[in-house]
Amino acid sequence: MEFLDQMSMPTVLKRRARSNRISLRVNENGLRINAGEHIPDPEIETFVQKKSAWIDKQWQKYELALNEKGYLYLGELKDLEFFQDKDLEKFYRAETGRIVKGLLEIHNEDDKYDINKVFIKGQKTRWGSCSSAGNLNFNWRLAMAPTEVIEYIIIHELCHRIEMNHSKEFWRLVQEKCPEFRRHKAWLKRNQFRLNI
């Protein structure tokens, strides 16, 4: 479609066989339009035009972040001199390990959560995980997030040592230890694309 080439951001259209609707998603890669295969092109174009203000606002947030000079460290943008001559992944792994260890000492006083081992890993889609054997895994990119967000992830995984699910009881435990957990979850959702090198 001609209007796709005129968009101010990279745009792709994906046709779906079993759909009767149009949906839009904006991320760091641009705009993705999902539309049922029987929806006429002019209807898709009209829908996108009606949503143009929303699309531009979303893309502007990503553009600002993509043009950042430097890297996030504990939620703050540090200039490149701060990281000069550092192997960035090693730096973040070490910092995440240090921060996680300190926060675990605070929140797992008297070993009440029965932790086995702690690992710093490079998961693609998770910030943390907990195994039935009591092993806790944390993403090395966590040192890019604010301390209170890292603390929420640690509390989240510790609560899995009591409830290995996401039941109401699990979230009650999380809220008891981290009353602002919803705000921290929202921060991660909004900023996860920035937590990278």
Percent of the chain residues past pLDDT 90, beyond the cut: 49
Confidence at residue 1, expressed as pLDDT on a 0 to 100 scale: 64
Note the pLDDT tens digit of each residue in 56-77.
888 877 766 666 667 888 988 8
Confidence at residue 2, expressed as pLDDT on a 0 to 100 scale: 67
Q: What is the mean pLDDT of residues 97-109?
A: 93
pLDDT of res. 29: 76
- Give the pLDDT mean for 109-127: 88
Report pLDDT for 106: 92
Are 121 and 139 a contacting pair, CB within 8 Å? yes
pLDDT for 135 equals 94
Average pLDDT of the residues in 76-88 = 76
Is the pLDDT confidence value at 49 over 80?
yes
Q: Is the pLDDT of residue 37 over 80?
A: yes
* Residues 145 and 92: beta-carbon distance below 8 Å: no
| Cα-based distances in Å from 5 to 10, 15, 75, 106, 108 | 8, 17, 36, 54, 55
Write the secondary structure of 107-152 as one string of H (helix), E (strand) and C (coil): HCHHHCCCCCCEEEECCCCCCEEECCCCCEEEEHHHHHCCHHHHHH
Q: Which fold has domain 79-194?
A: Zincin-like (3.30.2010)
Q: Once rounded to an integer, what is the mean pLDDT over residues 173-189? A: 92
Instruction: Locate the domains of the chain by residue range.
Output: 2-66, 79-194
Rounded CA-CA distance 33/11 in Å is 8
| 120 has a pLDDT exceeding 90 | yes
